[in-house]
Amino acid sequence: MEGRKASDSFIIMNEFVLPNDTNTFGNLMGGRLMYWMDIAASMAATRHCNFPCMTASVDNLSFKNPIKLGNVVHIEAKVSRAFHTSMEVHLKVWGEDMLHQHRYESNEAYFTFVALDPGGKPRPVPPIITETEQEKILYEGALRRRQVRLVLSGKMMPNDASELKALFIKD
């Protein structure tokens, strides 16, 4: 299968934070942001493989700064690595106060998606071709992040996580 450039999966999504999206403090609710991030990540994964995709996992999601009512949420998503049937999607999120022309980082996360065939079974996806230094850094770290996900979900034994062991055990 021929590889595809990471940059070809790049998605930008913007949303206005409306009253129905906020909590009692006037901040965007985390669940609403995760919903929007899932949509952006799904578009990036689907753009990469041209198949329907399903969310398989979401990594740690830590909020650096709240996004306030009336601000704009700016989400960027791009596939950072493709494995056999799954893809890791890296997302970065900013808030923007358009009235004061101030943009600030809110969070970042990694989502994993699986491509599906017409019967709903996993199907192979094209490999990623990295071009920029940042894409290469994300690509290299993806295997370690994948092994952490698999160990935490019980799908891989810790002793089998060769990339993780290499970080802690010297030969």
Domains assigned to the chain: 4-129 (3.10.129.10)
pLDDT of residue 170: 63
The span from the CA of 147 to the CA of 165, in Å, is 10
pLDDT of residue 86: 97
The span from the CA of 152 to the CA of 158, in Å, is 9
pLDDT in tens, 50-83: 999 999 999 878 889 999 999 999 999 999 999 9
CB atoms near residue 65 (< 10 Å): 13
Encoding tokens for residue 83?
């494995």
pLDDT of residue 171: 59
| Residue written as token pair 């995709």 | 53
pLDDT of residue 124: 98
Q: Is 90 helix (H, G, I), strand (E, B) or coil?
A: strand
Taking CA atoms, 170 is separated from 110, 158, 162, 164, 167, in Å, by 28, 16, 12, 11, 8
pLDDT of residue 168: 64
CB atoms near residue 81 (< 10 Å): 24
pLDDT 10s per residue in the chain (171 long)? 899 999 999 999 999 999 999 999 999 999 999 999 999 999 999 999 999 999 999 987 888 999 999 999 999 999 999 999 999 999 999 999 999 999 999 999 999 999 999 999 999 999 999 999 999 999 999 999 998 888 888 887 888 888 776 666 665
Cβ(90)–Cβ(107) below 8 Å: no
pLDDT of residue 162: 80
